[in-house]
A = this chain, B = another copy of it.
Amino acid sequence: MSSPLLNELIEALRCLPGVGAKTAQRMAFHVLERDRAGAKKLAKKLVAAVDRIGNCTRCRTFSEDRICITCANTQRDTSLLCVVETPVDQLAVEQATGYRGHYFVLLGRLSPLDGMGPKELGIDLLATRLGEGEVRELILATNPTVEGEATAHLLGQIARAAGVRATRLAHGVPLGGELEFIDRGTLAHAFGGRQNIEH
């Protein structure tokens, strides 16, 4: 390329997920040709977010304040606590469901080989929270992967120790899925967990 600065910008854009050499090139040329103001704004927001967003001291989700907006919201049901692996999972639950309780974000899943143990997942913080006595149901919304299930198992034990009811998201056939193409494990779960239909 005829401009070293442009090369550096293309290289820097590759820190974004799913952005390879070709896409980074297209992005760099696009902002230079058509949206320099947008690029400036993006730079500003990147710096602000990286410098100021930390984790909520109560639920561990991303927050620029000590206590995040969700935790600080007094309209939400304090008897429900939903445990998710990451802030993006929290966002998915929040956007898809009508859930109005609180969250606890593990920022990972049990994975000893990656150095993710109970301490890294803030399990002590969660146990303290359950010990406060306000939570009546702990909803385990970790992913249905091997690590996610192991994490849910551990959390179930902690809930039991604290005398709190633990529930797990239902496994089954996804909406719009066709039985023919669904993996065996999911289909077996859906079959085993069949429910009465109401009239």
Contact = CB atoms under 8 A, between A and B. Distances in A.
Given A16-B30, A49-B32, A50-B36, A3 B42 contact: no
Contacts of A3: 53, 61-64, 68-69
In terms of DSSP, what is the predominant structure of the interface of chain A?
A: helix
Contact of A39 (B8, B50, B56, B94): B50
A113 interface: no
A50 B32 contact: yes
A61 to B, nearest CB: 5
Interface in A12-30: 12-13, 15-18, 23, 25-30
A62 B53 CA distance: 35
Interface stretch (A83-91, A150-158, A183-191): A83-91
Interface of A: 1-6, 8-9, 11-13, 15-18, 23, 25-33, 35-36, 38-50, 52-53, 56, 61-64, 68-71, 86-88, 90-91, 94, 107
